[in-house]
């Protein structure tokens, strides 16, 4: 029997509980989810790709059903390379939908065998974004409950907060 594999791509700088909500729900639909950190030269990242991958692995307790990877270039090429057919994308608001719909349409045009699955982020996490988390943490605000403990700890270290 063929294993159903999905790719959950993103910058994950850092991974939040909203990301984990989507990831865990994705595991209910697929045998394996590849959580893949995208190299994005347009974004100034707080954590290196390697640090983000490590934080994801620790956040999912090295689950056998979650593979943590990274990629650069076109998502459609990466999806084909890892023998997946599905891409998982989380949505928080209408503004997310417009961008994600455009990307999914382009990806489908480039690879007719690839489908994008949109999942609404849980109600407790729809207002959380990595950018907001970094901003709050940079000013010494509490991000407990919005990110995994390992991420909270690394943010405190990164911003020299006790």
Catalytic status, residue 32? no
Q: Which residues of 99-136 are buried (b: 16+ CB within 10 A; e: fewer)?
A: ebeeebeebeeebeebebbebbbbeebbebbbeebbee
Please tell me which residue in 11, 89, 130, 154 is annotated as part of the active site: 130
92 is catalytic: yes
Q: Which of 43, 65, 81, 153 is catalytic?
A: 43
Give the residue from 118, 107, 121 showing the smallest Cα distance to 19: 121
Q: Which of 92, 108, 156, 158 is catalytic?
A: 92
Q: Which of 19, 32, 52, 89 is catalytic?
A: 19
Active site residue 43: yes
Active site residue 130: yes
Q: Which residues are annotated as catalytic?
A: 19, 43, 92, 130
């Amino acid at each position: 029997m063929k294993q159903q594999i999905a790719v959950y791509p993103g910058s994950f700088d850092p991974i939040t509980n909203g990301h984990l909500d989507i990831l865990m729900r994705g595991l209910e639909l697929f045998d394996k989810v590849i959580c893949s950190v995208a190299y994005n030269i347009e974004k100034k990242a707080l954590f290196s790709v390697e640090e983000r991958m490590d934080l994801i692995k620790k956040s999912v307790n090295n689950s056998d059903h979650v593979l943590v990877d990274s990629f650069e270039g076109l998502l459609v090429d990466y999806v084909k390379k890892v023998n997946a057919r599905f891409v998982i994308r989380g949505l928080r608001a209408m503004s997310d939908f417009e961008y994600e719909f455009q990307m999914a349409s382009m990806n489908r045009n480039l690879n007719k065998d690839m489908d994008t699955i949109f999942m609404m982020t849980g109600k407790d996490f729809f207002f959380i974004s990595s950018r907001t988390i970094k901003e709050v943490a940079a000013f010494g605000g509490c991000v407990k409950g919005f990110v995994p403990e390992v991420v909270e700890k690394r943010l405190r270290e990164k911003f020299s907060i006790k």
